[in-house]
A and B are shown apart, each in its own frame.
Chain A
């Protein structure tokens, strides 16, 4: 197959905040940069981030980066790497000021300084009073950041491959990453993009679960590409769930609904939280509420024809209160369910929100893998940043306001390391034919699969998402996870017999969805295998059979690879310049 070739200094796969921040840094340093994105860049999932980004600016209340670091280490349930966390918290104010200069319209205080709002998990003075650390551009911070960065990249002449799908990384026999094979979704034309460095910035993998707040594009493409290139995925058992998503749809119903007096009921009309948290009831912590809902459904007290959700009642609050205090929730329910919560209850199930695990990197954005006795050997030419990466600043649990910060700080850090790498690596390495051939074969599989009987992509995708929800969401124990591992393995096997009937070249979304499903299968396997293996509860990984955190045996990162299964590496507990925060009970 004769494939057109393009050469760049740096290839970036993914055009959300992490990818665009890196691209801008590189283009401004006169590197030639290609950004490949399967959707138009400003339709990346960063656009959905509403809350804001943390930085210890101390504009509203006293603050400093060290307190921010403490909160992040504690929030991570001591699984975060403390060198990376220190780096991020120190870099945060500069990241905010840079965005301001790029044109992000941060909300202001009366004195002209950047407004900062308090978020959960933020404290002054190492666990003291509430801090106010989150900078926001009204309720559309992600949108503002993404659009500003995109405009800046256009100015800086970054080259965009819009609506191109990256198939696989290309590697030579010495382990150098040489770029990627991609194809144009418009016409199916492949392109070989050769690059001295490749940065994966493809976002999270929320689509592997049935109920998720994540957009359809979040299929874990970069993570799966890394897996296939022999890079193990790290801490994939840690996914953050929100207890009250709209069942079957995924959108969030904020805690504010329960704060105003809303409560959850099961099929028998019982206030279920009275059983699980007699004091706090519906205002118990997120993980307790999530698990309680899952138990009700598992034990047959779920609502609806499939008994697969519970109900959130708000109607007793009255229409006036709902319209005044919860107008957004009312609008969401009317739009997506045709239900007015002033008149009828809302169907609810825990919804997956954020992927803490991902492609292991160091704080320079270099992808690192274990080699013999070295746990973190950089893969030459390969970088990752953002939600697809695991640097690891979120550890077992991400704090609100730290995800936009993560993508911007480490997108920039990766680009800075790439700039130094390019100074010492002037030439493209020779393309590796066997690596290219296997990438081409993976792409062409869907053109050559005949028209015989086989599994359909949509059936397999729905089954995978259901298995992950039933076996690997908020209710986890040995039995449930073990069955789930078997079921996912069976789905992976059945996928080998999958077929698509559309073999056209123009906007062949069936082929894209097939490639995405293959990516989701790999990421799901990494997730459930890592969850099955971790015999403790820590952060978002909560098990009913191992209910306590076990620092002695489990304060370590999981690594899952196709070749070796689950392995582990130590947490980096030594910060860059300050003393370590030793593990303590995580109470608020």
Chain B
């Protein structure tokens, strides 16, 4: 099954108002796009709709989601930035 969004669209939606988010989201996208499952692609698509401040709180570990698929993608994004 194809991913819900093409690479270039993901790429543009990873442009955010904060440098921290630019780095985290772009690292994940560039390292994982080719091997992303549809489920992962959908979860990534969903969190890209979050407001910047919420996304930062999630990715910096200041907040946890009640949705486990969100927590899973957050974990993968955090791993990608230093891998």
| Contact of B12 with A45 in the complex, beta carbons under 8 Å | no
Contact of A47 among B15, B17, B22 (CB under 8 A): B17
In the complex, A163 has a CB within 8 A of chain B: yes
| Given the contacts A39-B17, A47-B52, A508 and B8 also touching, CB distance less than 8 Å | yes
Q: Closest residue to A216 on the B side, CB-wise?
A: B22
Q: Which residues of A contact B23 (CB under 8 A)?
A: 249, 336
| Given the contacts A335-B78, A335-B81, A214 and B19 also touching, CB distance less than 8 Å | yes
| Contact of A43 with B60 in the complex, beta carbons under 8 Å | no
In the complex, A18 has a CB within 8 A of chain B: no
| Contact of A217 with B12 in the complex, beta carbons under 8 Å | no
Q: Which residues of B contact A576 (CB under 8 A)?
A: none
Distance of A251 Cα from B8 Cα, bound (Å): 26
Distance of A251 Cα from B17 Cα, bound (Å): 13
Contacting residues of chain A (44-93) with chain B, CB-CB under 8 angstroms: 44-48
Distance of A43 Cα from B13 Cα, bound (Å): 10
| Contact of B15 with A217 in the complex, beta carbons under 8 Å | yes
Q: Which residues of B contact A251 (CB under 8 A)?
A: 19-20
| Contact of B82 with A338 in the complex, beta carbons under 8 Å | yes
Distance of A205 Cα from B6 Cα, bound (Å): 29
Distance of A512 Cα from B81 Cα, bound (Å): 24
Distance of A335 Cα from B11 Cα, bound (Å): 21
Q: Which residues of A contact B62 (CB under 8 A)?
A: 331
Contacting residues of chain A (462-504) with chain B, CB-CB under 8 angstroms: 502, 504
Q: Which residues of A contact B16 (CB under 8 A)?
A: 39, 43, 215, 217
| Contact of A335 with B12 in the complex, beta carbons under 8 Å | no
In the complex, B2 has a CB within 8 A of chain A: no
Q: Which residues of A contact B6 (CB under 8 A)?
A: 506-507
Which range holds the interface residue count of chain A? 35 or more
| Contact of A507 with B8 in the complex, beta carbons under 8 Å | yes
Write the nearest CB–CB distance from A443 to chain B, whole angstroms: 17
| Given the contacts A43-B52, A147-B51, A336-B82, A215 and B12 also touching, CB distance less than 8 Å | no
Interface of A is mostly: loop
Contact of A215 among B9, B18, B51, B82 (CB under 8 A): B18
Distance of A147 Cα from B16 Cα, bound (Å): 14
| Contact of B81 with A336 in the complex, beta carbons under 8 Å | yes
Q: Which residues of B contact A217 (CB under 8 A)?
A: 15-17
In the complex, B59 has a CB within 8 A of chain A: yes
| Contact of B15 with A216 in the complex, beta carbons under 8 Å | yes
In the complex, A509 has a CB within 8 A of chain B: yes
Write the nearest CB–CB distance from B10 to chain A, whole angstroms: 9
Q: Mark A186-225, 1 if CB is under 8 A from B, else 0.
A: 0000000000000000000000000011111100000000
In the complex, B4 has a CB within 8 A of chain A: no
| Contact of A250 with B12 in the complex, beta carbons under 8 Å | no
Distance of A44 Cα from B52 Cα, bound (Å): 9
Contacting residues of chain A (157-205) with chain B, CB-CB under 8 angstroms: 163, 185
| Contact of B8 with A42 in the complex, beta carbons under 8 Å | no
| Contact of B8 with A506 in the complex, beta carbons under 8 Å | yes
In the complex, B69 has a CB within 8 A of chain A: no
In the complex, A417 has a CB within 8 A of chain B: no
Contacting residues of chain A (271-285) with chain B, CB-CB under 8 angstroms: none
| Given the contacts A249-B23, A507-B12, A508-B8, A44 and B59 also touching, CB distance less than 8 Å | no
In the complex, B37 has a CB within 8 A of chain A: no
Contact of B53 among A140, A212, A509 (CB under 8 A): A140
| Given the contacts A42-B51, A185-B12, A507-B9, A331 and B61 also touching, CB distance less than 8 Å | yes
Q: Which residues of B contact A512 (CB under 8 A)?
A: 12
| Contact of B60 with A335 in the complex, beta carbons under 8 Å | yes
In the complex, A143 has a CB within 8 A of chain B: yes
Distance of A61 Cα from B66 Cα, bound (Å): 43
Q: Mark B14-34, 1 if CB is under 8 A from A, else 0.
A: 011111111110100000000
| Contact of B12 with A44 in the complex, beta carbons under 8 Å | no
Q: Closest residue to B81 on the A side, CB-wise?
A: A336
Write the nearest CB–CB distance from A197 to chain B, whole angstroms: 26
| Contact of A42 with B11 in the complex, beta carbons under 8 Å | no
Write the nearest CB–CB distance from B72 to chain A, whole angstroms: 17
Most buried by A among B12, B19, B81, B82: B19
If A39-B15, A506-B6 are given as contacts, then 18 extra A-B residue pairs at C-beta distance below 8 Å, sorted by A number, are: A45-B17, A47-B17, A47-B18, A48-B19, A143-B52, A143-B53, A147-B51, A215-B16, A215-B18, A216-B22, A217-B17, A335-B59, A335-B81, A335-B82, A336-B82, A338-B82, A507-B12, A508-B8
Q: Which residues of A contact B (CB under 8 A)?
A: 38-39, 42-48, 140, 143, 146-147, 163, 185, 212-217, 249-251, 331-332, 335-338, 502, 504, 506-509, 512
Q: Which residues of B contact A (CB under 8 A)?
A: 6, 8-9, 11-12, 15-24, 26, 51-53, 59-62, 78, 81-82
Give the top 10 A-B pairs by smallest Cβ distance, nearest first: A338-B82, A47-B17, A507-B8, A143-B53, A48-B18, A507-B9, A43-B17, A216-B22, A47-B52, A215-B19
